[in-house]
Homo-oligomer: A and B are copies of this chain.
Amino acid sequence: MSADPETPLRADAQRNRDQIIAAARVIFASHGPEVPMEEIARAAGVGVGTLYRRFPDRDALIRAVAVDNFAGVLDNAKRLSVEAPSAWEALVQLLYHGAELQLSMQLAMLSQRAHEILKDDPEVAHLREAVLLEVDDLVVRAQAEGALRKDVGAGDVAVLFARIVRQLPAHRLKTPELATARSIAIMIDGLRAGPVTPLPGRPLGKDDLI
């Protein structure tokens, strides 16, 4: 995902680096970006020393994970936008791609800490903007198709996702995955064009997100 500004890593080191990012991804998504570094190291199967060698501090790790993940979401959105049979369908598919999206939401909207860290990173800012543009486009097209209700904007969709997709502490439900899938499905029905109640205020666009 990123160029090698310096000497390329040795093969095993590169492998460890990838494992760290993968582990951090999973853990950040489920427990937020403030988990002890040692926990991430353990999940990645490396020692803390290795973690710190690769990422000088927590911020660097968060940035690396964010860039990696945002890029993934953007790819996904672009691919769906082209391949799906309709913009509406693309949007729906995007929502059901829970895991990746969830982490992005967590990092972009839910964690105060992560936001502080990411807000000044131009690479992240660029990816974020690109994702929002893509969503905006899907929203407009889905509305033109007559599938998506007219009184919502990309901001509404993003906010709704951020809420729905966030993981509930798994221990509180007997069937967490099912519960999540059902929540998403209900939400999607709420977004459908059709006989609906008028929403308060005006549609929230992507610029209503900070």
Contacts and interface: CB of A to CB of B under 8 A. Distances in A.
A111 B178 contact: no
Copies of this chain, tallied across the complex? 2
B109 A174 contact: no
A84 interface: no
A202 to B, nearest CB: 8
A132 to B, nearest CB: 13
A173 B162 CA distance: 12
B173 A197 contact: no
Contacts of A152: 182, 186
A210 B172 contact: yes
A196 interface: yes
Contacts of A47: none
Main secondary structure of the interface of A (DSSP, over half): helix
Interface in A156-184: 156, 159-160, 162-164, 166, 168-169, 171-175, 178-179, 181-183
Interface stretch (A1-9, A56-64, A66-74, A187-195): A187-195
Contacts of A200: 178, 181-182, 185
Given A186-B191, A188-B197, A200-B181, A175 B208 contact: yes
B159 A179 contact: yes
B190 A175 contact: no
Interface residues of A, number: 44
B210 A182 contact: no
A85 interface: no
A112 interface: yes
Contact of A186 (B109, B156, B178, B209): B156
A204 interface: yes
A199 interface: yes
5 contacts: A115-B169, A163-B163, A171-B210, A182-B199, A189-B197
